[in-house]
Amino acid sequence: MEQFNVKNHPTTRHSLKALSVILLAGFTLSACSDSDKAAVVVTPPPPPAVVMQSFSVTVTNLTANQPLSPVALVAHDAQTVLWQSGAMASVALEKLAEGGDSADIDGLTGVSQVVKGTGAIMPGMSETITVRMEATAAASLSLATMLVNTNDAFTGFTGMTLADLVLHQASSMRYHAYDAGTEANSEAKGTMPGPADGGEGYSSARDDVDFVHIHPGVISMDDGLAGSVLTPSHRFDNPVVAISVTRTE
Q: Tell me: pLDDT of 32 over 70.
A: no
CA atoms within 13 A on the CB side of 115: 16
Cβ count within 10 A of residue 55: 23
Q: Tell me: pLDDT of 124 over 80.
A: yes
Structure confidence by residue, pLDDT tens digits, 127-166: 999 999 998 888 999 999 999 999 999 999 999 999 888 8
Would you state the pLDDT for residue 2? 47
What is d(CA 15, CA 13) in angstroms, rounded to the nearest whole number? 5
Q: Tell me: pLDDT of 189 over 90.
A: yes
Q: Tell me: pLDDT of 187 over 50.
A: yes
- Average the pLDDT over 46-63 and give the result: 92
Distances (CA, A) of 11 to 6, 15, 126: 9, 6, 106
Would you state the pLDDT for residue 15? 52
Would you state the pLDDT for residue 151? 98
What is d(CA 249, CA 243) in angstroms, rounded to the nearest whole number? 19
Exposed, middle or buried, 239 (CB in 10 Å: 0-12/13-18/19+)? middle
Would you state the pLDDT for residue 34? 52
Helices (H), 113-170: none
- Average the pLDDT over 113-119 and give the result: 97
Q: Tell me: pLDDT of 20 over 90.
A: no
What is d(CA 200, CA 98) in angstroms, rounded to the nearest whole number? 8
Residues near 110 by beta carbon (within 8 Å), at least 6 away in sequence: 76, 77, 79, 80
pTM: 0.81
Would you state the pLDDT for residue 13? 54
What is d(CA 193, CA 151) in angstroms, rounded to the nearest whole number? 8
Residues near 149 by beta carbon (within 8 Å), at least 6 away in sequence: 65, 66, 67, 192, 194, 195, 196, 197, 218, 230, 234
